[in-house]
Amino acid sequence: MRVAMWYNNRDVRVEEQPVPQLGPGEVLIRIEASGICGSDVMEWYRINRAPLVLGHEVAGTIAATGEGVAQFKVGDRVTVAHHVPCNTCHYCLNGHHSVCDTLRKTNFHPGGFCEFVRVPAINVDRGLFKLPDEMSFEEATFSEPLGCVVRGQRIARLQPGQSVLVIGTGISGVLHLATARALGAGRIIAMDTLKYRLDMALKFGADAVIPTDQDVPTHLRKLNGGLLADLVIICRGAWIPVGLNCVERGGTVLFFGGAREDARVPNPVNELFWRTEVTLTSSYASPPGDTVAALELIRSRSVPVKEMITHRLSLADAGIGFQLVAAPTESLKVIVEPQR
């Protein structure tokens, strides 16, 4: 089968690998669509493991099943989680599935940017989801990133009517905007550097936008009735200092996007916490329950994910897709279609 082998963001090669062989409890998925995630182009995070086949936002059709698989059959249209929790450890039992050791070790093989993926038995058991008839494969690829967003806003305890500031309006930020709108947030404001991204933010849920060359807290107060934001969602780690200065007393800051390894929280403790009741929290991954919720938001069109797709590419053009996502001046969501 063909795979898109990632060496770095400027070097993605179509290579041949054997179709994975199945063991008991496993399934083989013929990949029809696979989304490129912003984390896929974080070279500092990936480069030490190169070359490798990336891709974790996938949807397709079951091509084969291993011994003992009863709940799925060949031909089923599915999406699958690449990471799944054990559901029995201390962390899972306390609602922190994302820090479960099992979740951090599980994955499908070899990755989403290929023609076929082998899904291990544990992923089949708790991370394989049949698609509604009305949901396309490309829409289903959003179940993982939207599930992450759903979990993030759940952890941050977003309440109807609360004001929200989303910092960084790539696809994760846009999904946060659209989800906050679907969940009944009040004033929703977005901040970014690029005009293209700010235009996308206005299209998908923002009431107003703030370019990064502005005094963001001052501009935010003008747009939000004199107040800072009840919930600040930081989707780009480079803007952590800005986000920490934009949260209202009693509000919450959600660290959502990855930051570089040397990133720091610079604010004085007394100024940020003492007498302000500000909560800092973080969210990672999409445990199964949040993926199910994301699939319903997609199915009901509450979050219009199809309209967010700007590029659909063949496996041979996956390298172009990585460059589009790495320098996103004119792209929002890039989908690779391995069967083209």
List CB contacts of 16: < 8 A, sequence separation 6 or more. 1, 2, 3
Q: Calculate mean pLDDT across residues 301-312.
A: 98
The amino acid present at 129, given as its one-letter code, is F
- Contact (Cβ atoms closer than 8 angstroms) between residue 189 and residue 202: no
pLDDT of 270 reads 76
Amino acid at 273: F
Over residues 244-251, mean pLDDT = 96
What is the span of the domain harbouring residue 321?
Answer: 2-147+285-337
pLDDT cut 70: percent of the chain above it = 100
Number of residues written out for the chain: 340
Higher pLDDT, 119 or 238: 119
* Residue 138 belongs to a domain: yes
Q: Which of 282, 306, 326 is the last residue of a domain?
A: 282
Contact 170, 145 (CB under 8 A): no
Q: How many domains does the chain have?
A: 2
Let me know whether 175 and 98 are in one domain.
Answer: no
Confidence of residue 196 (pLDDT cuts 50, 70, 90): very high
313/240 same-domain check: no
- Identify the CATH number of the domain in which residue 331 sits: 3.90.180.10
Q: What's the pTM value of the predicted model, to 2 decimals?
A: 0.95
pLDDT for res 326: 92
Please give the span between the terminal C-alpha atoms of the chain, in angstroms, as a whole number: 13
Q: Which has more confidence, 251 or 212?
A: 251
Q: What is the reported pLDDT for 157?
A: 97
290, 271: one domain: no
Taking residues 262-284, what's their average pLDDT?
83
Mean pLDDT of the 318-329 span: 93
pLDDT tens per residue across span 45-83: 888 999 999 999 999 999 999 999 999 999 999 999 999
- Is a pLDDT exceeding 90 seen at residue 331? yes
Contact (Cβ atoms closer than 8 angstroms) between residue 260 and residue 239? no
272: confidence class by pLDDT, cuts 50, 70, 90: confident
| pLDDT confidence tier of residue 294, bands split at 50, 70 and 90 | very high
Do 248 and 323 have their domain in common?
Answer: no
How much is the mean pLDDT over the chain?
Answer: 95
Check which CATH number belongs to the domain holding 213 and give it: 3.40.50.720
Confirm whether 152 is domain-assigned: no
Same domain, 28 and 103: yes
Q: Given this model, what pLDDT does residue 239 score?
A: 87
| Residues 147-168: tens digit of each pLDDT | 999 999 999 999 999 999 999 9
Tokens at 71, concatenated: 């709940």
